[in-house]
Amino acid sequence: MSTPLIDRTAPTEHPVLDVLAGRWSPRAYDAQNAIDEAKLATALEAARWSPSANNSQPWRFIVARRGTALHAQVVDSLVGFNQTWARNAAVLVVAIAETATADGTPLTHAFYDLGQAVAHFSVQAHHDGLVVHQMSGFDPEVVREFADLEERFVPATVFAVGEFGDVESLPEVLQEREVAPRVRRPIDETIVLSA
């Protein structure tokens, strides 16, 4: 039985969809339960149907389930800080940007579109009761090596997916982060120009 998710609904300035206000990025993962394959498939389907320039779909994913050699390889690519908690996630996904077509035509929008695909995945996963935490702390070259990726495919981020776990299983500094108030800079400091 998974741990109930902490309610960390965002204190938004304006109303947004509940699934957006409630989504956050925990580090406490249930280290025992396997991924619900139907929920994982649904999140991947949401990513598949996200928008992209010219419908180029410049994203690829490595999906590594806990207990597999592939999961261990992804864990090994993470910086030590992320290894301490992410190894418990039921799945680690490497998000890869296709930065050029097979004939060498640059896809300048690849990272933008990959970000949209990961966002769609994250929102769908949250809606279905899974939690997702994205990480930039990993070595893309380690991933490139074990996945034998062509140069045009660039590992951009790793994200943990699974059920929420016990906050007390985290190191003390991460326990504090897990329950700290959620904050964002105000909208008026984010908008550069508006007319």
**What local confidence, expressed as pLDDT, does residue 1 receive?**
57
pLDDT of residue 2: 63
Q: At what angle do helices 69-77 and 140-147 cross, to 10 degrees?
A: 150
The pLDDT assigned to 37 comes to 98
pTM here? 0.95
| Helix, strand, coil content of the chain in percent (nearest 5) | 40, 20, 40
| C-beta atoms surrounding 49 within 10 Å | 11
- What is the C-alpha to C-alpha distance for residues 166 and 131, in angstroms, rounded to an integer? 13
The C-alpha angle with vertex 146 and arms to 140 and 150, in degrees rounded to 5, equals 70
CA angle 41, 66, 160 (to 5 degrees): 65
* Spans of the chain below 70 pLDDT: 1-2
Cα dihedral 6, 127, 21, 183 sign: positive
User: What is the distance between the alpha carbons of residues 56 and 74, in angstroms, rounded to a whole number?
Assistant: 26
In the chain the domains, ranked by start, together with CATH numbers, are 23-180 (3.40.109.10)
**DSSP string over 11-35:** --SS---HHHHH------B-SSSPP
pLDDT reported for residue 22: 94
Per DSSP, what are the bridge partners of residue 138? 78
Which DSSP helix (H) or strand (E) runs through 84? helix 80-86
Could you identify the residue written with the tokens 């062509």?
150
- Which one, of 135, 129, 136, lies nearest residue 40 by Cα? 129
